[in-house]
Chains A and B, each alone.
Chain A
Amino acid sequence: MVVKHVVHIALFAAIVAALGLMPPIPLPVIPVPITAQSMGAMLAGSILGARRGGLALVVFIALVMIGMPILSGGRGGFGVFMGPTAGFILSWAVAAFMIGHLTERSWSRLTLARLIAFNVLGGIVVVYGIGIAWLSLVSGVPIDKALYGSAVFIPGDIVKCVLASMIAMTVKRSYPVIRR
């Protein structure tokens, strides 16, 4: 393993963690501030690519598991993964990997629209798919009810997809990482 890759993985895991410690960020249009932590998977995937992006989120999840209070709201430890919403957190690693994979494949002809599509696919479809399936499985609450319950968060998450994509495009222009 290349030392620099390990450092990329670790520093992005640390970014996701530090985002959990920051107070929510105010947005231009939307009145409520957002917690930026769930953008972590999108940013890691679309900046670092599949392998490093996915592993950054794996490291983040491992840190939560071993007792760092780094999920927004200061949560951490095994308890998080024994709760009914663990699927949402675990899905971040899959989402980052998938976003990274799609981004890498179209790296040389990447457009904002395309990156937004990737982030919606990974950051919303994958995250909600895994999160809701998990919730329903461990709690016995039927899938449709679990989906209605979570649907209120989807508009905010779409805003995050757009933001993360714009940010990643800016970073790509001044400091491309994937093809280096």
Chain B
Amino acid sequence: MTLGLHLPGDSVIHRLPVGWKIGCLLLASTGLFLVSDPAWLALALAGVAILVIVARIPPSVMARQMAPALVILAILVAVQAIFASGREALELGLRFGALLPLACLVTFTSRVSDMIEFIERITAPLARIGFDPAAVALALTLAIRFIPVLFQLMTEIRDAQRARGLERSPLAFFAPLLIRTLKMAHEVSEAIEARGDPAPPDGPAGRSRANRK
């Protein structure tokens, strides 16, 4: 399965439930902003490095994912070093230097489907205020399903545009893209309705029929 940035593996970190990993990440990020002693921050950075090794994430993969953020970070560190102080620049560099790979680690070791299940679970209590967790999960999975479909549609439209010499006209790209997407949305919602309601009987989606034209 080739969805998302997940790297399959069986390390302790891979096997940890998604909710735990996200909780730890939130705790760690809060902690890193409360601490300002470079020694402690350096220790945190070392800790994250160990976790990355434990999870057997190849350094090249990690580097590729972090590179754009690291460039911006380097600029900000330079700004701080020039206009503030060396210590503040060091603090900034260490803090994000630890945080970025830790966050990537959670991503690399967690499956997208587990994440969606987790989101469905934590949004369940919102059902009481008229929010539908099944609709949340449906929206996420539908979006994932349609990324390749829309990418292909975009490529087709762009080729058609080229054939007509319109490659520098964003309007000639976006107008057909959006109109075809809206038509497709109509077909997709018809297909979903024809396949039965995704929500449990009498759930919010069940009521949708009444207020549709």
Contacts and interface: CB of A to CB of B under 8 A. Distances in A.
Interface of A: 1-4, 6-15, 17-19, 21-22, 25-28, 36, 43, 47, 55, 59-60, 62-63, 66-70, 73, 75-85, 135, 138-142, 145, 149, 163, 166-167, 170-171, 174-175, 177
A2 B212 contact: yes
A79 B175 contact: no
Nearest to B32: A82
Given A78-B107, A79-B69, 10 more contacts: A3-B192, A7-B189, A11-B150, A66-B110, A78-B22, A78-B25, A82-B103, A83-B69, A84-B72, A167-B170
B59 interface: no
A177 B183 CA distance: 11
Contacts of B173: 25
Interface of B: 3-6, 22, 25, 29, 33, 65-66, 68-69, 72-73, 75-76, 79-80, 83-84, 88, 91-92, 96, 99-104, 106-108, 110, 112, 115-116, 119, 132, 135, 138-140, 142-151, 154-155, 158, 167-171, 173-175, 177-179, 181-186, 188-189, 192-193, 198, 204-205, 208, 211-212
Contacts, number: 216
A129 to B, nearest CB: 19
A75 B169 CA distance: 27
B102 A175 contact: no
Nearest to A62: B140
A79 B119 contact: no
Contacts of A47: 178, 182
A80 B143 contact: no
A113 to B, nearest CB: 17
**Centre residue among B73, B168, B174 by max chain A CB count within 10 A:** B174
Contacts of A43: 174, 178
Given A47-B178, A77-B107, A171-B178, A18 B138 contact: no
Contacts of B150: 11, 14-15, 17-18
A145 B83 CA distance: 10
Contacts of A170: 171, 175
A60 to B, nearest CB: 7
A171 B177 CA distance: 10
Nearest to A17: B147
Contact of B72 (A13, A77, A85): A85
A83 B72 contact: yes
Nearest to A167: B174
Contacts of A2: 208, 211-212
Contacts of B69: 75, 79-80, 83-85
B149 A14 contact: yes
Contacts of B66: 79
